[in-house]
Amino acid sequence: MSPRPDSDDIRRRVKRQLGPDATTEMVESVVRRVEALSDGSGEDLSTDLRSMPPEQKDAGGDRLIIAVFGVNQPGIMAGVSQILSRHRCNILDISQKLMQEFFTMILVVDLTGADTTFEQLQQDFDKLGNSLGIKIYAQHEDVFRALNRL
């Protein structure tokens, strides 16, 4: 197993992935989110989407990656899309597949016009997931990209 990268190494990797236009604030925002995920605190993941600064949006902060898994049944796609619609989120891309009785779906969602927090969206997804017996995972695109590059 390779050693876990230190904070400076993570910053360098995030900066490289965000590209030459990445500001210090953008890099720090992604690093804080990655560190919050890795230490389990969840800090900085409940950012109010309405007040997200433009530099965070440029880093992918205005998009979510959502993954849905479970036994197929009516209402999964409708439930997820209703939550997103209610909070003024726009589905940019969607892929869904049935594998025998198992349902899988991945969405890329634009949060530019969202009227809620990430935390509230996650609570709504958790409630839907519990009612249908499925798992719904949502992650900011910048965090998703950073975690998949480390």
Question: Per-residue pLDDT tens for 58-80?
Answer: 334 588 999 999 999 999 999 99
Q: Token match 């409630």: residue?
A: 127
Residue 1 lies in a domain: no
Specify if 2 maps to a domain: no
Q: Greater confidence, 96 or 8?
A: 96
Q: What angle do CA 39, 27, 16 make, to 5 degrees?
A: 110
In order, the DSSP letters of 41-96 are: --TTSS-BGGG--HHHIIIIITEEEEEEEEE--TTHHHHHHHHHHHTT-EEEEEEE
Give the range of the structural domain holding residue 92, as residue numbers without chain letter.
Answer: 7-147
Q: Report how many domains make up the chain.
A: 1
CA distance 50 to 41: 22
Q: Check which CATH number belongs to the domain holding 85 and give it.
A: 3.30.70.260
Question: What was the pLDDT predicted at 33?
Answer: 63
Looking at per-residue confidence, does 52 or 133 come out higher? 133
60: left (phi over 0), alpha (psi -120 to 50) or beta: left
Structure tokens at 86: 């209610």
Report for 41-45, 49-53, 62-66: range of highest mean pLDDT: 62-66
Q: Is residue 98 part of a domain?
A: yes
Quick check: is 73 in a domain? Answer: yes
User: Which are the contacts of 1, defined by CB distance < 8 A and separation ≥ 6?
Assistant: none
